[in-house]
Amino acid sequence: MLLTANSGAGKSWALRRLLEQTHGKIQQLVIDPEGEFYTLRERFDYVLAGRGGDCPAEPRSAALLARRLLELGESAILDLYELAPRDRVRFVRAFLEALINAPRALWHQVLVVIDEAHAFAPEKGHGEAESSEAVARLMAQGRKRGFAGVLATQRLSKLAKDVAAEANNVLIGRAALDVDLKRAAEALGLSKGDWHQIRSLPAGDFFAFGPALSETVKRVTIGPVQTAHPKAGARAAPPAPPREKVRAILAQLADLPKEAEVEARSAAELREKLRLVERELAVAKRAAPASAAPPAGEALARARAAGEEAGARAGRTALSKVVASAEAGRGRAARALDQGMAEVKRSSEALLQHMQRAADALRESIVVETEGVDVGAERLTARVPKNWNAAEARLAQVRKLDRMLDSEHVSVAGVDGPMQRILDAIAWLEALGVDGPYQRAPIAFLARYKVGSGGFNNPLGRLRSAGLVEYPSSGTIALTEAGRAAARAPQEQLTVDELHERVRAVVDTPMWRCLEPLLRAYPDSMSRDDLAAAAQYEVGSGGFNNPLGRLRSLEIIDYPSPGRVVALPVLFLDT
């Protein structure tokens, strides 16, 4: 649902009426940036999260709070008023991502209300928020999980259009500014001559339409509410104490930040182990012979079969341990904090030991010689990976675990979305076994930015100021230890083709027409005449020279000799 009206036109009143009328029929999770809805506790059972409430509302514990509320099935008001605007955005992102990524066992009907939604999913040109994607996923994917998103905003023009478009039911109240009137009129199908109908609506009146409201646009008046609605400028009353039903579950919400800290620390340790295993496997694959003689003979078949069986056996054992540990951990989630922390520690140690064994197995011997096989007058000695399938099976388990951990990722304080993308891009190259430091071009493309743009340079500068990256030499970048800990390891290895697709996404069409033939010709260069013909341009024309010059300024092509053009190695994951 989308609910919009300007200040004083009845938006919060309508939202309060909706919550009062549906309480007890569906779980409600209310994201309240302005701290207006705590008075619902006067008559209804709600957990109040936030300063002065029953539990904290902090970005670091937002994901854990979301999961715990789904487990308990209790309605909650998430009062974010005391948080800084940036921390509100981080909280909403973590909270909504945890809802969407929750296991199927926790799916049920939930009303997820987001007041001041334009602050968390702004339209282009009205700022950026790292929570935008999470809000979009709630509106697009929530229905399958039983989650009904309700977006409320005073400024319809500032709310992302693609997010608003997911709302099937709409309530539009009074608007004053032309930009808001235009968006509202478009939704209602009104011509500009009829905009006055929206501008002149009295407080509490709305135009309503949608499957749950009316097949046609109707004017409605919102009825009375049962709880105190805060008046503008009035002193805020203290929140009502929790009722008996809420008091019974408060022990399970008492120390969420400490639990979240334990989870985050365990996740960081596991990611570091994963990064080492990924890197060692990548290096080992690169070091393997480029063209070994084709394996033959019964001995080689026995060796391969033994390796496959060992890998499958190790994989089944490790996976069963991970699943058993995860299921046991979920069952213990409602117990006392000290028991839960001890179990997390034991589970983490077991997983760390498993990963260490995987890494040790790789270090012992990646390549061994099989028995000699007679081939005619010669004796063939083939070199094949030892337990290669076992290593791959272990790695698949670790990657699956990393995907689980990635959904629980807790951002490092001060690292926004653009900064995180750059950290993750450098982590891609490290996981591939490509030695740093790295040129800026591949990092920018992996992070989906243009080299030299403000969108890339500004967050890169903030990363350096925060001590998360360093510049070992002119034009190069490397992670510091702190940056490596903050980066998220890749879930799967990036291919050269995928890198080229990322490049294609950030260059314009003329640049791509010039670049694509060079990628096909690599490592060979092309003459300007041949390149122009392949790109369907005239040699010497501005349409050809200009995009070629821009590609060179991005440091992804070069002129090795007069009249020749070549793609640079950075486009092939070779710095």
* Domains of the chain in sequence order: 2-253 (3.40.50.300), 256-407 (no CATH), 417-486 (1.10.10.10), 496-572 (1.10.10.10)
Which H or E run includes 438? strand 438-439
pLDDT digits (tens, 9 = 90+) for 296-313: 456 666 666 666 666 666
- Range of lowest pLDDT (39-43, 330-334, 559-563): 330-334
Q: Which two tokens stand for residue 92?
A: 């909403």
Cα separation, 275 vs 480, whole angstroms: 15
Cα separation, 244 vs 28, whole angstroms: 18
The region, left, alpha or beta by phi > 0 then psi within -120 to 50, assigned to residue 91 is alpha
What pLDDT sits at residue 112? 97
The structure tokens 């070994």 sit at 292
Q: Are strands 147-153 and 110-114 parallel, antiparallel or unpaired?
A: parallel
What pLDDT sits at residue 384? 41
Write out the DSSP string of 474-510. TTEEEE-HHHHHHSPPPSSPPPHHHHHHHHHHHS-HH
**Which one has a higher pLDDT value, 481 or 358?**
481
Instruction: Tell me if the bond preceding 202 is cis, omega within 30° of 0.
Output: no
Q: Which two tokens stand for residue 387?
A: 């337990």
What mean pLDDT comes out for the span 100-127?
93
Ordered strands of the 476-479 beta sheet: 438-439, 476-479, 469-470
Mean pLDDT of the chain: 78
What pLDDT sits at residue 253? 72
Residue 65: pLDDT over 80:
yes
What pLDDT sits at residue 397? 47
Estimate the share of the chain in helix, then strand, then coil, as percent rounded to the nearest 5: 55, 15, 35
Q: Which two tokens stand for residue 323?
A: 């699943």
Q: Quick check: 489 and 278 in contact, CB under 8 A? A: yes
Cα separation, 515 vs 500, whole angstroms: 10
Measured CA angle at 189 (ends 188, 194), to 5 deg: 90
What mean pLDDT comes out for the span 421-430?
83
Q: Quick check: 362 and 284 in contact, CB under 8 A? A: yes
Q: Which two tokens stand for residue 316?
A: 């089944």
Residue 135: pLDDT over 90:
yes
What mean pLDDT comes out for the span 227-234?
76
What pLDDT sits at residue 264? 60
Give the bridge partners for 148, in sequence order: 111
What mean pLDDT comes out for the span 490-513?
76
What pLDDT sits at residue 402? 45
Cα separation, 551 vs 101, whole angstroms: 40
Residue 69: pLDDT over 90:
yes
Cα separation, 182 vs 172, whole angstroms: 12
Contacts of 214 (CB under 8 A, 6+ apart): 208
With bands split at pLDDT 50, 70 and 90, how would you rate the model's confidence at 314?
low
With bands split at pLDDT 50, 70 and 90, how would you rate the model's confidence at 373?
very low
Residue 498: pLDDT over 80:
no
Residue 383: pLDDT over 60:
no
Burial of 518 (C-beta count, 10 Å sphere; 0-12/13-18/19+): buried
